Amino acid sequence: MERLASTPAAIPPLMAAIGRTPLVELAVIREAAPRTRLFAKLESVNPGGSIKDRPVVRMLREALAKGRLAGGRRVLDSSSGNAGISYAMLGAALGVPVTLVVPGNASAERLDRIRACGAELIVTDPLEGYDFALREAQRLARTHPERYWYCDQYSNPENWRAHYEDTAGELLAQLVPFAGGTPDALIAGVGTGGTLTGVGRRLKEVRPDTHVVAAIPETCPGIEGLKPLGAPEDIVPAILDEALIDDRVTVSLDDAIAMCRRLAAEGLFVGPSSGAFVHVACELAARRRLATVVTVLPDTGERYTSTGMWRVSRDG
């Protein structure tokens, strides 16, 4: 309620509730490197349940300020689910119509929530993968410019700016008591490249030798929300600044899920991309001398119950 009381009347409370997420310390890294401390932003506490609230609220604010949605134009974007939820939630709160192109293999929890918020869903063939949904959104934007404003989280600079100003700004302030505000390394993934580019850029400005690591999933089975960036035909996000990446570390889905289970046993219930980042942090800390490592925990494990990832097999 305190948050609400201090919210300016013009900003819907949902928007004001985004960000300022807790920083949690993960003791799991000490097994790999007893002297390393790992800190992570717990992004599932955002009202949309994921880190995606940050870029989406910023992109929508900018669009509204510039009159992009005048005349009842619909916000259009592609998403593997989490951004779709943020768009649907904020669109409903702001009275802005939203259309999302989502591949049919996005988890059922995501599709249900997007529908519940009243967004229009265009579900593409799951066999064709995420890039097909992205191309379909581009096609719709091209052929119906009067109907849609294409937000395009892959090339909208407000995406990385949200992480540069807010995610990284919060991180630096929260780290002051622990590491003087500057970590040795950042672990992030690449979906749109927004987190890695925004946080990585800010951290390197403060401390140029910050080691920025991209966690790269296997091609199949992949990790929801993360791009393998391996095949030449893969779409590389326009906002991704690859020059910021010092190291690419491959992580398998099995390793990511094993880490999710480890973290759950310590009370932290997070999704596979979080498990992937923490796994990579532990691997990196085992082979490099690092005092402080930071990462993000993009979403909650509850968003994946339908996938069976939490089901304990009968034979252990």
By the rule CB under 8 A, 306 interacts with other proteins: no
Clarify whether 273 is annotated catalytic: yes
Cis peptide before 221 (omega within 30 of 0): yes
Q: Is 221 in the site for other proteins (CB under 8 A)?
A: yes
The full 3-state SS of 29-92, as one line of letters, equals HHHHCCCCEEEEEEHHHCCCCECCHHHHHHHHHHHHHCCCCHHHCEEEEECCCHHHHHHHHHHH
State the nearest-atom distance from the C-beta of 271 to other proteins, in Å: 9
Q: Return the number of the residue (106 or 290) whose C-beta is nearest other proteins.
A: 106
Query: 202 with 252: CB under 8 angstroms?
Result: no
Exactly one of 51, 57, 251, 290 binds other proteins (CB under 8 A); that residue is 51
Residue entry with tokens 């030798």: 209
Letters for 137-176 (x = contact with other proteins by CB under 8 A, - = none) are ----------------x-----------------------
Q: Is 52 a catalytic residue?
A: yes
DSSP 165: I
> Which of the ranges 22-30, 174-182, 183-191, 203-211 carries the binding residues for other proteins, by CB under 8 A?
183-191
Smallest distance, Å, CB 5 to other proteins?
32
| Per CB under 8 A, 290 contacts other proteins | no
C-beta of 33 vs 224, nearer to other proteins: 224
Nearer to other proteins, 97 or 191 (CB): 191
Q: Which of 36, 44, 80, 300 binds other proteins (CB under 8 A)?
A: 80
Of 10-18, 31-39, 86-94, 226-234, the window that binds other proteins (rule: CB under 8 A) is 226-234
Phi, psi (degrees; rounded to nearest 5) at 297? -110, 95
- Do the beta carbons of residue 206 and residue 168 sit within 8 Å? no
25 forms bridges with which residues in the sheet? Answer: 39
87 near other proteins, judged by CB under 8 A = no
Q: With CB under 8 A as the rule, give the number of residues binding other proteins.
A: 54
Kindly identify the residues of this chain, within the stretch 199-218, that bind other proteins according to CB under 8 A: 217
CB-nearer residue toward other proteins: 36 or 274: 274
CA distance 145 to 244: 34
Other beta carbons less than 10 A from residue 225's beta carbon: 26
Beta strand pairing call for 185-189 and 148-150:
unpaired
Query: Which CB sits closer to other proteins, 273 or 292?
Result: 273
Phi, psi torsion values for 175, nearest 5 degrees: -85, -15
- Distance set, CA 253 to CA 217, 231, 271, 310 (Å): 7, 18, 11, 13
Interface contacts to other proteins, rule CB under 8 A: 51-52, 78-83, 103-107, 126-134, 153, 188-192, 194-196, 217, 219-228, 231, 235, 253-254, 257, 272-273, 296, 298, 307-309
Catalytic residue annotation: 52, 273
